[in-house]
A and B are shown apart, each in its own frame.
Chain A
C-alpha cells in the first residue's frame, strides 16, 4: 500500500480468489495488518500501544452492548439495574467490572500512545492528519467516558454530571440556555440520563469510524519509527505479519494480565466509594472528583481562581481546559524542528521529561481537594503546561542544535545501542537525510 516493495496479495485458494475478485476485503486486511504492510523494523514496544488502544475499544463496545441488555436508563431504576447486573445476571459482575476498568485501561494505553507520539515527533509532517484524527478520538473518548460515568446514577455520577455540564454556563450570555438545552431541564434528571445513555451508546461507533480513517491516513506514509528518519528502502522494513502480529500478540497478553489483574482483584480501586450511594439531588458528597483520567484537565480548570483582564475566573478555567486539549491540534506547526525523534534532540528530550512530571503533578492536584497547597501547585503546573506547548516548544525547535542523525534505519539498527547519541562521523548531514522536511 505505502511502499513499492510491499508484498501483493495473491490468493492461492480458489475460494479466496473468488471472494477477492468480488469484494477485496481479504486484500484490504492483508494490506492493512497483514504481510502487505511494510513496517520499519526498528519500532520498539512503545509502538504496541496503537493496537492495544484498538483492542481496548473493542472490549468496551462488546462489554457495553452486553451491559445495555440489562441496564435501564431511568432515574428510578438505573442504580437498581446496575446492582441487578452485579448480583443476578450470569457473569454480569464480570461484564460491569471489565467495562468500568476497561475505560481506565483504555485511557492508560491512549495516554501512553499520545506521549509516544510526542516524544518521537509522530505528529510531524507527513503524519499531521494521523495525529489530529487521534486527538478527535481522544475528545470523543472523553465525552463517552463522562457520559458513561453518569449511567450508574450514583452520587458521583449525578454530581459529576452537574459540575461538568455547568462548565457551559461560563459561556457569556447564552451559557445557561445551553446548559438547560444539554440537560433537557433545569437540573440533571431523567431527560439528561436518557440522552447520555443514547449518546454513550452511539459515540463508540463514531470512534471506531474515526479510527478506521486514522489507520487509513497512517498507511499513506506508513508507521514512524524511533529514529524519526524516513524509510529509504526494502531493507528498512519488515512485513507487519508475522513480525508485528507476533509482537502485538505478546504485548496484548501482558496488557490483559494487568487489566484482568485489576478488574478481578481490585475492581473498585480506580472508582469512588460515593458512586455506590444512589444519586441524591439534595446532598453533594464532601469531596467530588472526576475519574482519574480527567484529573490533569480538572486541575487546569480549577487553577484559575482570579478574575483577570475582565474575564471571570470561571470562564478562564473553561477556556484554559479546552485550550489545553485543542492546542495539541497545532503541534505540527508549533514544533518547527525538522528532527522528529527526541532521541536526537537533547533539549527537547529534557522538556519531554519535564512535561511528564508536570502532567503527573497536575493529575495529583486534580484528584486532591481544592485547598492549599494543591491550588497553588496546580497553578504553577498549569502555567508550565501552557509554557511548554505554546512558548518552549516553538522556541526550542528553532534554536536547538540536534544531534547527527544516522543515514538510514538499517544503519541505526546495525549500530544498535549507539542510536541514542549517534557518534560523530556516522552521519555527514542531519537535516539533509530527512526526506520530509516541513515546508517553511
Chain B
C-alpha cells in the first residue's frame, strides 16, 4: 500500500511538472524568412537507382571530366585514388597517364626538402589547398568541402547535388543576397558562397559521340560521378545483396517446410 502511494506521488510530480511546462505560454517564434524560399531537391532518375541499377560508365567518365576541369579548382577528392578510376571504365595505362598529370607532395631524396613528384596509380587525388586556412583564405572565408563523400554527407544525396548545381537564379523581390554570396533556393541557407560553377553550356568539351554538354547534362554527369566516388562499392553491395536475398528466400522456404514438418509430427502423434 505504501509502495503504491509512493508510486502515485512520484508519478504525480512528473506529470504535474510536465503539464506546467505544456501549458506554459510560449514565446512567439520569429519565422525565418529564408525558410519559405527553401526548396527540396528535385527527384531525378539515375542509372544507378534501384536494386538492379548500375552506374553508366560513360556518364561517370564525363562526370570525372567535369570534376577535373571545373570542381577540382576548389574542391578536393582526397579519398579517391587514381587506381579507383579503373572502376569507372578507364584502362590501367589510361589511369597511369591521368595520374602522371598530377603533382603530389613528396620529399626530395637528396636534400630532404618538401617537393613534388608526378602521381602514380596508388596515389590519391591531391587537394587544391594545402590546408583549411589556405582554403578559406582563397575563398572569402568559405571552406569548399572535399567531395569524396558529398552525396552521402548531404540529405537528398545526388538529387540534392544536381538541384544545387542547376538551382542558381535571381532572388525574388525583397530578398537581399549579402555581398559575395549567391542565391540558391536548394541550399539550406539560401545564400551560398560558391559562385555558379556550371555557368554556360559547352563549358566542358565532351568527346565525340557523347551528349551535348548542357548545364543540366554536365550537372547530372558530375553528380553521378560523385555519387560513385562516395561509395565505389555500391554496385558490389547491391549485387551481393541480390545473391544473399535469393539464397535467404530459398532457405526461408525450406526452414518453413521443416518447421511445419516437425510440428505436423507432433499433431499426428497427439491424435493417436
Contacts and interface: CB of A to CB of B under 8 A. Distances in A.
Q: Direct A–B touching in the complex (beta carbon < 8 Å)?
A: yes
A379 B22 contact: yes
Contact of B259 (A247, A323, A398): A247
B29 A250 contact: no
Interface stretch (B3-11, B99-107, B110-118, B164-172): B3-11
A246 interface: yes
Nearest to A316: B17
A256 B248 contact: yes
Interface string A78-105: 0010010011000001100100000000
Contact of A87 (B16, B79, B241): B79
Contacts of B261: 246
Given A265-B51, A391-B11, A304 B17 contact: yes
A352 interface: no
Interface in A206-263: 238, 242-243, 246-247, 249-250, 252-254, 256-257, 260-261, 263
Interface string B230-268: 111100111011001100110110011011011100100
- The size class of the interface chain B forms with chain A is 35 or more
A87 B249 CA distance: 29
B24 A306 contact: yes
Interface string B15-36: 1111111101010010000000
A87 B251 contact: no
A87 B256 contact: no
Contacts of B248: 253, 256-257, 260
A376 B252 CA distance: 45
A242 B266 CA distance: 10
Name B's interface SS: helix
Nearest to A263: B241
Nearest to A254: B252
A257 B24 contact: no
A273 B152 CA distance: 6
A264 B249 contact: no
A308 interface: yes
B154 A273 contact: yes
A276 B152 contact: yes
A75 B195 CA distance: 33
B7 A390 contact: yes
B22 A246 contact: no
Given A250-B252, A380-B22, A265 B79 contact: no
Contacts of A276: 149, 152-153, 230
A387 B244 contact: no
A418 interface: no
Contacts of A391: 7-8, 11-12, 15
Contacts of A242: 262
A395 B7 CA distance: 10
Interface of B: 3-4, 7-8, 10-22, 24, 26, 29, 51, 79, 84, 145, 148-149, 152-155, 157, 188, 230-233, 236-238, 240-241, 244-245, 248-249, 251-252, 255-256, 258-259, 261-263, 266
10 contacts: A87-B79, A94-B237, A246-B263, A250-B252, A257-B249, A257-B252, A265-B241, A308-B20, A386-B15, A387-B15
**Closest 10 pairs (CB-CB, A-B):** A390-B11, A264-B241, A276-B153, A379-B22, A253-B252, A383-B18, A386-B14, A246-B262, A306-B21, A246-B259
